[in-house]
Amino acid sequence: MDFGLSEEHRAFRETVKRWVDAELPKSWARELEKDEHNYPYALWDKFTEAGFHGVGISEDYDGQGGDVLMQMILARELARSLGGLAWIWGITSFAGSKSIGLYGTDEQKKKYLPLIATGQLKAAIAFTEPGGGTDLLGGMTTTAEKVDGGWKLNGEKIWSSSAHVADRLLVLARTTKAGEKKHQGLSLFWIPAKAEGVNITPLSKLGMRSMGSCAIHFEDAFCADEDVMGTPDKAWYTLLPTLNNERIMVGSFCLGVMDGVLEDAIDYMKERKAFGKPIGQFQALQHYVADIATWRTTTELLVNYAAWKMTTGQDCGLESNMVKLVASENANKAADLGIQILGGMGYSAETDMQRYWRDSRLWRIGPITNEMVRNGIAESLGLPRSF
């Protein structure tokens, strides 16, 4: 079975790679992420000019077309230089195009997909709660009450990336008391980020800096009936396919990080000399590079397999979990070894290894912890639920 890229996909990857090298040098990414409270609008605009917001959106809605694998190729190439800043593209791609494109009404697609595809609309995801974390369902306290013409939302969310600059928030809230299962009675809302009763506060954090992550407080915030996504009380069933897509996308970002780590490590090992020879001649460091390259290929095969299953309409829940687990741990190990290879310069803010490490560290925690991913994998193999 061949999971290699088709000619079309290879051509797309080469085009994006050349564009990234020309338009997104790593030195610029370092500058962008220095100020964590200064959103990089110039980066968003570059994506708009290149048409990247439209990848995965049908041409019927002013998009560029392309399948899941095409999106993953783009995610990988962007992360090679940008690291975690690639989420500037990824958030709206997930919250907007993947979500609306999958379960939006015809009216919602006609209204919002062209705006997303042409870079006129930024979106953010508001699922996680301060007291919930990975226990998304059990910790769900945000509620939405039916009123005339819509719903009123009350509650709090946390770690909503780029919410402070978003036009719309994709919010998960409880609309009916949980039944026998915790996932029952949840609904999705596509609420204006500047609506009355929505208060957004940026948070400081280790990595993923200038894209911003925020806490959101809802106090009787109104969302119109026309902006309910999918069927009320059935949001969890609606979300599952998109969560698989998000985990594969995380795997692709991690692949990009490993690409960047290898590039920088090999270049440095060829130039840096110690004890009278290039450090690339040292066996210990060669072993580090060999490990990183092996982790990358292992991850690439798994990403391509999961993306292929999703593209062909097969169940890829198990594989998407494995992708997220393997990719995040491999990328973070690779960045850590990259710091070790560069020594003191790897710890310096003047190089990118520390940035790759800080950004990839998050992917071991979010969008779901790797411990919970392992629980899900074990359960899918027939073992009893552990939580």
* pTM score of the predicted model: 0.94
Domain ranges for the chain, please list them: 7-122, 124-232, 236-380
Q: Which stretches within 202-316 are classed as H helix?
A: 235-271, 283-311
Residue 18: CB atoms within 10 A of its CB come to 11
Q: Are 342 and 353 in contact (CB under 8 A)?
A: yes
* Residue 60 to residue 110: CA distance in whole angstroms: 9
CA 329 from chain centre, in angstroms, equals 15
144: pLDDT strictly greater than 70: yes
Q: Which residue has the tokens 């190729």?
A: 73
- The per-residue pLDDT for 1 is 59
3: pLDDT strictly greater than 70: no
221: pLDDT strictly greater than 70: yes
251: pLDDT strictly greater than 90: yes
Q: Which stretches within the chain are classed as H helix?
A: 7-23, 26-32, 41-50, 68-82, 87-92, 99-103, 106-117, 235-271, 283-311, 317-342, 353-362, 370-380
- The per-residue pLDDT for 135 is 81
In angstroms, the first-to-last Cα distance of the chain is 36
- What the block records as the tokens of 15 is 């085009």
Which distant-in-sequence residues (6+ apart) come within 8 Å of 294 by Cβ?
Answer: none
Q: Which fold has domain 236-380?
A: Butyryl-CoA Dehydrogenase, subunit A; domain 3 (1.20.140)
Backbone angles phi, psi at 207, to 5 degrees: -130, -165
Secondary structure percentages of the chain, helix, strand, coil, to 5: 55, 15, 30
- What the block records as the tokens of 236 is 């969890």
- What the block records as the tokens of 19 is 């564009």
Burial class (CB in 10 A: 0-12, 13-18, 19+), 217: middle
Report the candidate in 360, 293, 378, 356 with the shortest Cα–Cα distance to residue 324.
360
Q: Which fold has domain 124-232?
A: Butyryl-CoA Dehydrogenase, subunit A; domain 2 (2.40.110)
- The per-residue pLDDT for 138 is 80
344-370: pLDDT as tens digits: 999 999 999 999 999 999 999 989 999
CATH level 2 (architecture), domain 7-122: Orthogonal Bundle (1.10)
Q: Which residue has the tokens 């996504």?
A: 229
Mean pLDDT taken over the chain: 93
- Percent of the chain clearing pLDDT 70 (strictly above): 99
Q: How confident is the model at residue 180 (pLDDT cuts 50, 70, 90)?
A: confident
Average pLDDT, integer, range 268-297: 97
93-120: pLDDT as tens digits: 887 677 898 889 999 999 999 999 999 9
Three-class secondary structure of residue 52 per DSSP? helix
310-350: pLDDT as tens digits: 988 899 999 999 999 999 999 999 999 999 999 999 999 99
